[in-house]
Each structure stands twice: as C-alpha cells, then as structure tokens.
Amino acid sequence: MYLRHTSRHKDGKDHVYWQLVRSVRRNGKVRQEIVAYLGELDAEGRATARALARRITGRGDQRELFEEAAPVPKSVEVRLDQIRVERDRSFGAVWLGWVLWQALGLDRVCRELLPRGRQGMNWANLAAVLVIARLCEPSSELHIAEDWFRRTALEDILGIPASRLYDEQLYRALDKLLPHKEALEEHLKQRLGELFAVEYDLLLYDLTSTYFEGEAAYNPLAQRGYSRDHRPDCKQVNIAVIVTREGIPLGHEVFAGNVSDVKTLKQIVESVERRYGKAQRIWVMDRGLSSKKNVAWLEQEGRLYVVATPRSEWKRWRAQFEEPSGWQVLRDDVEGKLCVVEEGKLSIVLCRSAQRRRKEQAMHQRFAARIDTALKKLERRLVRSKQPLERAPIERQLGRLLQRNSRAAARYQIELIDDATVPATVRLQWSVRADWERAAEISEGCYVLRTNVADCTAQQTWQTYVQLTQAEAAFRIHKSELSIRPVWHWKERRVRSHILVCFLAYVLWKTLEQWQSKAGLGNSPRTLLEEFERIRSTDVVLPLTQNPARELRLRCVVRPDKAQAILLQRMGLRLPERIRIAEDDLRRASKM
C-alpha cells in the first residue's frame, strides 16, 4: 500500500492530487488498484473533513456503544499456549452504516415513532437492521435473518442477539415502518438541510419502474405497463422520486404499473406543497411529464418550471432550427438559442447536441439498414415465387417489420401492387422519402425546452434542465447498488415498505457520498463500504494460569491497515478498540 500523486496545472497554479494505491495479483500479474482519491491533502481540506465529521457524528466517537474507558486492571497471568480467537465478524461497514443512521437522527425518530412492542421488541432497531442491510448487502429479509446478520457485528452495536432474530420479525418491522413514511421524509428534509446546507428551491422530478417476480395476484398496484427495465412480460409498479439539484432525495411515491407519467404530476406537486408549503420552487421534468394539460395547470397556479417538450414540438420551431444565426455555445458539444414567446412569462430554448446527434444518426442508420435488408429479401421472394402469394400475410409481415424498427419506419413509402402478368400475385414497390431524410437531418440531436422563469438565459435554462441527471442517477443507484428490483413481496403494503427501505438506504448512500466528497475521497460509497467491510471484530480468549477453569474474553476491533487508517483519518472517524460483551454471550461462553 502506498501513496501516488499526479500534478495538474489549473487556473494558473500547479495542483498535486494524491491517490491511495495498493498492489494486487490477478491472473498471475501484479496490478495497481486505486483504493481512494485523497485530493490535495492540504490542511484546509483536512479541517473541512473533520468539521463535517463532527456535524455528522456529533462527537469524537460513539463511546456509548462500546466499553467505557476503565482504569488499568491488576495484572493476571494467562496461558500463552491456549490463547485463541473466536467469533470473527464483519464490523466496519455496519458500524459506518450505524454512524450514518445516527447522523441523520433516524435512531431517535424511529424510537419516537416505533415504541417497543410486547416482550420488549425494539422495532426501531429492527428498522435500522433492514436499512443498513440494504445499504451494505442488499438481500431478502430471510437472508438477513438466517445468514447476513450473524456474520456482522450489528448484533453487538444494536444489542439484538442473532439467535433471537428471525424473518417474521423483519416482515412485521416493515409493516410498522410504512405508516410513518411522511414523518420520516419530513425529518430527513430538515436534517439533510442542516448537514449539507441543502436548498430546496429547485426540485427534479422523474419516474422509473420496478418489476415483480411472480404473478403478484393480490397486489392491485402490480400492473403491466411501459417497462423501463425491458421486462414487459412482468407486472410492475412505477416509482416517482423528487431530488434536489445535488441529488439529495426529498420524497417518493408509488403508483400502479399501468399509470402513465403525465397522470402523476399533480399528485406529487400537491403532496410536496401540502407538507412543505407553496414556496417559489422551480420544477424540472422530462418530456414524459410535460403534457399540455400539466403545463397549463402549472401556469394556472403560478408555479415555475423547466420542462422538455414532446419530441414533435421541434416541427413548430423548424424554421428557427434551420436559421444559422442566434446560436450560442452552452457546452463544448451543445448549442442553444433563446426564443422569447411572451416577455417575462414564457421562453423557449432550442438545443442541439453533437453527441446526441451522432447517437440518433446511428440509431436511424441501424433501423434503416434492417428495413432495407428485409424489403430487398421480400422483393426477391415475391419475384421468384412460382405460386400465387396472398396479400394479407405479406401486409402483416410488413407491419411487423415496421413496428420492430419504428424509428425509421416513416422513411419508406411502401406499396403492394397487383401483378398484371400473373393473376392473384402481388409485387413490392418501395422508395425512400426525401422529405423524411431532410427532416431527420434537421431534427437529429435537437430538443426544445420550455420555461416560465423570468429573465432566464439559454445557458441557465439548459443547465437547470441537465440536472435531471441527478434523478436518473438516483434510479441507477436504486437498481444497481440497492437492488430495488425485482420485487418478491406479494402484498401492497409490503411492496410499499420495501421501496421505503430502499429510499432510506439511498438517503444513507447520498449522505456517505456527500461526506466522502467533502473529505476528498471521491464519490463512490460502494468502494468505501467494501474497504470498511474488511475491518473485523473478534473475541480474544485468554485462559488464566492460576484458575484454568476461568477465561478472560475481550471483544476487540481488529486494528485497521494502512489504507483503512488513511480513510478513517480523512473522514474524521476513530474506530473503537473494545466492544461491550452482552450478558447472553458471557453466559454462553462460560458454559463452553
């Protein structure tokens, strides 16, 4: 493990950026693997990281979870030949998850919302188990209870013996957590605003879908609809997420799988305004939500918005797209033109992207090549056929071909004409429409933005719109890192609870991402969690010399290696050295 640096000249100054690198052997070859990006390692950066760590943890360490500092005990003699290590557990990742859970105040809020049940059942801690497990190793409740929980030190941190945890408790914890969805979201909005100075003046709204394994026959939300997961064979639900410009989540809603995007906007906006008031927020949405009815409703209520218009809207502004003057560079490969429709009330920004143009050109060429090949093949078959061919099957074949390649279907003028030389026989006649190719040449890479924000330039409007990538990133993390799909639950409330747990895990994820970014460690929480997962806790058993029947049992955290120590130092964290041993464990150990 070693430090490596790179130099870069920027803004008239030389900057030295450090990386933590380790050597690993793979397939017989030694390679260098970057563990973390450490930034410039300047004093100001270290101070900033420490200050943020104090705000997040509220203390130097989590002493209440671990043994109090005690006076040095009297010395005792132990049998060196019988010292052993037992009960190896993964400690670092779940400990970091618990630090994040406490940093967001979810431990306190859950204690207030989820009072203890019969026989002292601690529903607040079970909720923490569900969310931390979703963050560290996404899996089913059954896997958590039977395998994952007993392999981690979370039972020491939360005081829940692994032998007393079973899957039915976790299912009931899901049911207990769901009624408090809005209260949790309101608390998180306030707490995240305090930690990271988040502003909620601009909200990004988008939808995705997640599919079910099985029929989900008892869940009215499970319906077939447009699948963003490319699984039209499965039932699904739609999930709407609202995030800030930094990607900090504000809330989420669940809709039936067959509900179209445009029908969700009014419910989401009214829900946010009911909980947080009608502030002058700017709503940013993609074209799937920007129907004429929705835009009119937003304007009628005086709400501000930046939306992408439907794809066909470019035709209305075709003359302006063809006009070479008035364009300005928004980014290296993006140009924009501002068209004021109504001064101070409505503006249109025409955008054209070189990268997007290349992508759409490639798509059109691919689909057109498929249609060309199929039409030529069909044409040859009709010419060579010695038997009369009916018109209806050929028309159905053409319909399927154009449907599969709809992006380029309008490029062709296709006709089936009767062959006068052979009775009851048809011939194929087709050509490429020049007007379509001309329109495609103009429209490729082009899109139109609409806004009612007064005095908003083309640059500002476009930059506001492209922040929708934060909402898209939220969906990507939900699906890839937190495994929100597929859904195995049958009941509607369990499905909603599952999505709520994934949402809370995403809040922990974004908190960790913001924290490590401020500490100069990049923005990959999964890398950090994997490094911390290698930090173990274990029991050191010391047999006494004077009384062989007695043993000293010390539950310790393994000292971090050099890479882990640097990460902890950069984040302003200090690992505990000793962990309290529960009375049940002491009794169990004494019987062995």
pLDDT for residue 585 is more than 70: no
Classified as helix, coil or strand, 347 is strand
Q: How many CB atoms lie within 10 A of CB 404?
A: 12
User: Would you say the C-alpha torsion 328, 330, 335, 340 has a positive or negative sign?
Assistant: negative
Which class for 276: exposed (0-12), middle (13-18), buried (19 or more C-beta within 10 A)? middle
pLDDT for residue 588 is more than 80: no
Cα–Cα distance for residue pair 257/189, rounded to 1 Å: 27
Q: What is the pLDDT of residues 12-59, one digit of tens each?
A: 666 666 666 667 777 777 677 776 655 565 555 556 666 767 777 665
Which class for 487: exposed (0-12), middle (13-18), buried (19 or more C-beta within 10 A)? buried
The strand pair at 304-308 and 346-353 is best described as unpaired
| Beta bridge partner(s), residue 339 | 348
Q: What is the pLDDT of residues 273-329, one digit of tens each?
A: 999 888 889 999 998 888 889 999 999 888 999 999 988 888 899 999 999 998 999
Tokens at 107, concatenated: 């431990």
Category of 263 on φ-ψ map: left (φ > 0), alpha (ψ -120 to 50) or beta: alpha
Span 239-254, mean pLDDT?
Answer: 93
pLDDT at 327: 94
pLDDT at 48: 63
Q: What is the pLDDT of residues 449-485, one digit of tens each?
A: 999 998 889 999 999 999 999 999 999 999 999 999 9
CA 211 from centre of chain:
16
Cα–Cα distance for residue pair 183/239, rounded to 1 Å: 19
Q: How many CB atoms lie within 10 A of CB 377?
A: 10
CB 305 within 8 A of CB 297: no
Maximum alpha-carbon separation in the chain? 114
Model's pTM, two decimal places? Answer: 0.84
Domain ranges of the chain: 313-455
Q: How many CB atoms lie within 10 A of CB 198?
A: 17
Q: What is the pLDDT of residues 506-557, one digit of tens each?
A: 999 999 999 988 888 888 899 999 999 999 999 988 888 888 778 888 889 9
Show Cβ contacts of residue 331 under 8 Å, excluding neighbours closer than 6 positions. none
| Beta bridge partner(s), residue 440 | none
Q: Using 50, 70 and 90 to split pLDDT, how confident is the model at 72? A: very low
Looking at every residue in the chain, the average pLDDT score rounds to 86
Cα–Cα distance for residue pair 475/480, rounded to 1 Å: 9
pLDDT at 582: 65
Cα–Cα distance for residue pair 292/316, rounded to 1 Å: 15
Distances from the Cα of 249 to the Cαs of 205, 358, 388, 462, in angstroms?
A: 10, 33, 64, 22
Show Cβ contacts of residue 578 under 8 Å, excluding neighbours closer than 6 positions. 66, 67, 554, 555, 556, 557
Q: What is the DSSP string of 97-151?
A: HHHHHHHTTHHHHHHHHS---GGG--HHHHHHHHHHHHHHS---HHHIIIIIGGG
